[in-house]
Amino acid sequence: MTDISPPKGRGALAKREARLAWGLLFPTIAIVALVVIVPLLAIFWISVKPVKLGDLRPAEMRLRISLREGDQPQVEYRVINPSREHEIHGAGFDTTLPPGVTLTGDLPKGCALNGQDLRCDFGDLAPGLNTRYRIDAQIAGDDRAIKRAVRDSGVVVRGQVDNMLTNTTFTLENFRKLFSGTEFWSVLGVTLFYTIFGTLGALLVGLFAALLLNKDFRGQGILRGLYLFPYVAPVIAVAFTWITLFDPFSGSANALLVQMGVSQGAINFFGQKPLALIMVTVFEIWRYFPLSFLFILARMQSIDTDMYEAADMDGASPFQKFWYLSMPQLLGILSVLFLLRFIWTFNKFDDIFLLTGGNAGTRTLTVDVYEQAFAVSNIGAGAAVAVVVFGCLLIFAALFFRTMSREEGL
Amino acid sequence: MKMLYKGYLTGPIIGALWALVMAVTLGVAISFATGEAARPALWGALILGVVTGLVRVWRANRWLSLGVAVVVALGVMAMGLGALQFGAGFAPGSRVALSIVLAGMVAIPLNTILRDLPFGTTTRHEFEAAVIRFLTGFGYLFFTAIVIIPFYVMVMTSMKSQQQLMLNPLDFSIDLSKGWHLFDSYYELMTKFHFGRYLWTSFYVSVLTVALTLLFSVPGAYAVARLRFSGRKVFSRGILLIYMVPMIVLALPIYIAYSMVGLRNSVFGIVMIYPVTTIPVALYMLQGYFRGLPVEVEEAGLMDGLSRLKVIWKITLPLALPALASVGLYVFMIAWNEFLLAFMLLDDPSKFTLTRGIASLNSSEIPRQHLMAGAVIATVPIMALFLGLERFMTRGLTAGAVKG
């Protein structure tokens, strides 16, 4: 008796297909892993290390050689550790004295003279060390030429600094500082205000625009193209235009408000505390309403018109039709758009950076990453903020995927 | 709401709101066009709107309401209560003319907005239709203004001199008599600030980005869309997740790595990094499109003895050409507009992309019009491309989910 049942497991064909799939995906996975996954891991690594911007270029011992003239000529060796924080291990140098110079004085500890070759080993140099070693010398020949020859004599410097990125010093200092200050919570508050109102605003304005254009008339295509301008133009161009428009001294907006008697003097739109935050949020709405408008319009145009005809027969009023027929149909796209835009607004950096540079109470988390890392030159602290941003992102993404699978796509 | 279902209430209220909108619009338009003060006044606008609205619903005669509007507008102006308060620069003749224009702008659209609205009790339909017509008119004006004004300011500022800008910021006119000297800023950018070179750099960086992105994302997207393998769902979610990682989080380690390897300040480094930021988007867009293609055609190809790769090359790609165009355009736009990475990774003026070049113009030593001319130079090519290929672009944007 043979058992008649469908084959279990994967057949040869299925296996071949899977192999092909992975083969096709491999280049993408490799390159994305290299440029996304590795940096993400790096961010976690850096966030627990006390790394400053200066540590990216490891310190090297510096040596200046000069000839001091006088009754007793001396050759001066000035040894400098330019780093204020790190020791240089195994520091030393090799140099050759130019002809015409003979060292006669006592050599410093660790130095040895072999003919014209001088070799010195200092061991570890303390941070910020700056010592001069002067050795009596005899010179013969033209003063100026010898002076130049001494200054330019060939030097090989030895010594290395622990690389702050790869050593095993770990610290939670970055995170402790981040969470202990009141600054972080105000930054978080600003981020939430910007994100929530920016997203909701862009969604509502986009919905309004979509309702306007959801009918056929001449010029509809032109208007649709026009309303997309703010999104398509480079952010740097529109951001600087807004700054020009709202400039407190030569901006047209201020001049207009003064003319109309709305305000007495010039308003510093991007420099005053609550106003700057409102302005960057308005900018965000202005720049991204086209996107929500486009999606909502696309969804609206795919709604079956039969439903509206039936509603007309039943005597539904325009607002009723919108509220009871269109809205339920649009709810899916609206929720997906809300979550995606929420995430993207949360991640937004360029806009605020260009408009205010994070000043006047507009510093969001992403701007804070930049500020900590580059303005304060504390890469570790910047990375810590980046880790927080990434953590928030994971939460939002989990929320998003739950909604997404309920709505099944856009 | 029910209280408002009376023509004699709805008419004046909508009329008043419309008159306010029109007074502000005309006031702003006059101020910008002439640089003189024309201030919309609340009470004047309200009187004009209420009366016109009331007349319109009372006697449904379009000429009557227009006539009344003109009379009221001139009357309140004579009393000094006009909906537009003119500055000293306006002659009496132009004041009268502008008041008549305002009356027309209030009455003619109101005739349409309040069409079919009875004087007495209205039905819900009539009421809502009137409100919707009002909102529609307002909406078109509002959106057109908020989009046009900033772009106009960009172009206009780039054609003025610093003195003109400081003298009267309200003046939006372009002095055409200057002829070619209007474009002095552009000329200077091209000659002294190397914007020609930046344009070229931006262009080829963007084109290379598009090519590399498509090269990597087409096979990947096909695999995710068509082939069955375990981990497919995880993978397609992974793409979306990567697509949500903030650029600044990645930019920091990339900056560090580039500093150490010495790839900063090289166009090669930029070309390496840009495609990676766009591959997830392109993959996501393309796999959506591939799913929409009929499987049967591909299966027929397989039956006839083509290998999978041949199927992709000979059947899927030709069918997906429009999608490739959309995705390519979208990626081009992202690469062209990219600012953050260029800003962080490029310091050497000879290697700047256009956006980085504009950022370098933002200093107090360089006049404002140069900055705006730079903005125009960056905006015009992408706009031209967008308007020329609007159909592809729109589809690219909607397919690409919601990239910031």
CATH number at A326 reads 1.10.3720.10
Q: Which residues contact A343 (CB under 8 A, 6 or more apart)?
A: A393, A396, A397, A400, B244
Secondary structure of residue A65 in the 3-state scheme? strand
Residue with the bigger pLDDT between A58 and A172: it is A172
Q: Among all chains, which residue has been given the structure tokens 């410093």?
A: A108
User: Are A271 and A320 members of one domain?
Assistant: yes
**CATH number for the domain harbouring residue A75:** 2.60.40.1170
Instruction: Verify whether the Cβ–Cβ distance B151 to A295 is below 8 Å.
Output: no
Instruction: Verify whether the Cβ–Cβ distance B283 to A318 is below 8 Å.
Output: no
346-405 of A, contacting B, C-beta below 8 A = 346-350, 353-354, 366, 369-370, 373, 379, 382-383, 386, 389-390, 393, 396-397, 400-401
Cα A126 from chain centroid (whole Å) = 34
User: Are A198 and A254 members of one domain?
Assistant: yes
Residue of B nearest to A382 (CA): B252
Summarize pLDDT for B14-35 with one digit per residue, the tens: 999 999 999 989 988 888 887 7
Q: Cα torsion for B211, B214, B217, B219, to the nearest 10°?
A: -110
User: Are A141 and A288 members of one domain?
Assistant: no
Secondary structure of residue A356 in the 3-state scheme? coil
pLDDT surpasses 50 at A409: no
Task: Read off the pLDDT of each residue in B278-288 and give the average, rounded to a whole number.
Answer: 85
User: Are A293 and A184 members of one domain?
Assistant: yes
Token pair for residue A314? 């039943």
Quickly list DSSP for B289-338.
HHHHS-HHHHHHHHHTT--HHHHIIIIIHHHTHHHHHHHHHHHHHHHHH-
The whole-chain average pLDDT of chain B stands at 85
Q: Indicate the residue of B39, B252, B358 with minimum beta-carbon distance to A383.
A: B252
CA distance A206 to A204: 5
Q: Indicate the residue of B308, B378, B393 with minimum beta-carbon distance to A234.
A: B378
Q: Is residue A109 part of a domain?
A: yes
Q: Any CB–CB contact under 8 A between A312 and chain B?
A: no
If residue A159 lies in a helix (H) or strand (E), which one and from where to where?
strand A155-160
pLDDT surpasses 60 at B402: no
| Residue B205: predicted pLDDT | 94
Most confident of A72-76, B87-91, B373-377: B373-377
| Residue A2: predicted pLDDT | 63
The closest alpha carbon to B328, from B404, B233, B218, belongs to B218
CB pairs under 8 A between A and B: 282
CA distance B85 to B219: 66
Q: Among all chains, which residue has been given the structure tokens 């020009």?
A: A244
Bridge partners of residue A157, in order along the sequence: A93
User: Are A232 and A127 members of one domain?
Assistant: no
CA of A26: how far to CAs of A19, A32, A228, B40, B223, in Å? 10, 10, 36, 64, 10
Cβ atoms < 10 Å from Cβ of A238: 26
Instruction: Verify whether the Cβ–Cβ distance B336 to A349 is below 8 Å.
Output: no
Summarize pLDDT for A233-273 with one digit per residue, the tens: 999 999 999 998 898 887 888 888 887 777 778 888 888 88
| Residue A281: predicted pLDDT | 95
pLDDT surpasses 80 at A374: yes
Summarize pLDDT for B37-82 with one digit per residue, the tens: 778 888 888 888 888 888 888 887 778 888 888 888 888 888 877 7
A205-209, A337-341, B321-325, B392-396, range with the lowest pLDDT = B392-396
Residue of B nearest to A219 (CA): B140
C-beta of residue A160 within 8 angstroms of C-beta of residue A86: no
Q: Is residue A33 part of a domain?
A: no
Q: Among all chains, which residue has been given the structure tokens 């083969």?
A: A23
Q: Indicate the residue of B149, B245, B252 with minimum beta-carbon distance to A393.
A: B245
Residue of B nearest to A55 (CA): B256
Instruction: Verify whether the Cβ–Cβ distance B355 to A366 is below 8 Å.
Output: no
Where helices occur in B159-266 by DSSP H, the ranges are: 162-167, 184-192, 195-226, 232-242, 247-261
Cβ atoms < 10 Å from Cβ of B220: 25
Instruction: Verify whether the Cβ–Cβ distance B378 to A236 is below 8 Å.
Output: yes
User: Are A267 and A350 members of one domain?
Assistant: yes
CA distance B393 to B387: 9
Q: Which residues of B touch A187 (CB under 8 A)?
A: none
A276-285, B73-82, B368-377, range with the lowest pLDDT = B73-82
* Minimal CA separation from A374 to chain B, in Å: 9
CA distance A116 to A100: 10
| Residue B320: predicted pLDDT | 86
User: Are A269 and A382 members of one domain?
Assistant: yes
Domain's final residue, options A160, A183, A199: A160
Residue of B nearest to A215 (CA): B136
Confidence of residue B398 (pLDDT cuts 50, 70, 90): low
The range of the structural domain enclosing residue A218 comes to: 173-407
Q: Is residue A38 part of a domain?
A: no
The closest alpha carbon to A369, from B264, B270, B335, B253, belongs to B253
CA distance A194 to A85: 39
Q: Is residue A47 part of a domain?
A: no
A282-291, A348-357, B241-250, B325-334, range with the lowest pLDDT = B241-250
Most confident of A27-31, A39-43, B85-89, B138-142: B138-142
Secondary structure of residue A89 in the 3-state scheme? strand
CA distance A307 to A325: 8
CA distance B19 to B44: 9
For an interface test with A, which of B256, B273, B366 has the most A Cβ atoms less than 10 Å from its Cβ?
Answer: B256
Asked if the B186-399 domain carries CATH number 2.60.40.10, the reply is no
User: Are A109 and A205 members of one domain?
Assistant: no
Token pair for residue B344? 């962080």
264-303 of A, contacting B, C-beta below 8 A = 286, 288, 291, 294-295, 298
CA of B81: how far to CAs of B87, B90, B103, B254, in Å? 14, 16, 14, 64
183-242 of A, contacting B, C-beta below 8 A = 208-209, 211-212, 221, 223-238, 240-242
Secondary structure of residue B292 in the 3-state scheme? helix
329-348 of A, contacting B, C-beta below 8 A = 337, 340-341, 343-348
Quickly list DSSP for A99-149.
TTEEE-SPPPTTEEEETTEEEEEEEEEPTT-EEEEEEEEEE-S-HHHHHHH
Domain's final residue, options A138, A160, A182: A160
Percent of chain A clearing pLDDT 70 (strictly above): 95
Residue of B nearest to A349 (CA): B248
Q: Is residue A50 part of a domain?
A: no
Token pair for residue B299? 């299966």
Q: Is residue A31 part of a domain?
A: no
Task: Read off the pLDDT of each residue in A219-243 and give the average, rounded to a whole number.
Answer: 89
Confidence of residue B395 (pLDDT cuts 50, 70, 90): low
Terminal Cα-to-Cα distance of chain B (whole angstroms): 40
Q: Which residues of B touch A293 (CB under 8 A)?
A: none
Domain's final residue, options A160, A181, A216: A160
Task: Read off the pLDDT of each residue in B327-352 and give the average, rounded to a whole number.
Answer: 90
Residue ranges of the domains in chain B? 2-158, 186-399
* Minimal CA separation from B77 to chain A, in Å: 17
The closest alpha carbon to B272, from A267, A82, A363, A31, belongs to A31
C-beta of residue A318 within 8 angstroms of C-beta of residue B126: no
Q: Indicate the residue of A24, A208, A347 with minimum beta-carbon distance to B246.
A: A347
Number of domains in chain A: 2
The whole-chain average pLDDT of chain A stands at 84
| Residue A44: predicted pLDDT | 87
Instruction: Verify whether the Cβ–Cβ distance B382 to A234 is below 8 Å.
Output: yes
Q: Are strands A155-160 and A88-96 parallel, antiparallel or unpaired?
A: antiparallel
Q: Indicate the residue of B220, B228, B383 with minimum beta-carbon distance to A28.
A: B220
Secondary structure of residue A249 in the 3-state scheme? coil
Q: Which residues of A touch B38 (CB under 8 A)?
A: 259
pTM: 0.85
Q: Is residue A55 part of a domain?
A: no
Task: Read off the pLDDT of each residue in A343-354 and give the average, rounded to a whole number.
Answer: 91
* Minimal CA separation from A361 to chain B, in Å: 20
Q: Is residue A44 part of a domain?
A: no
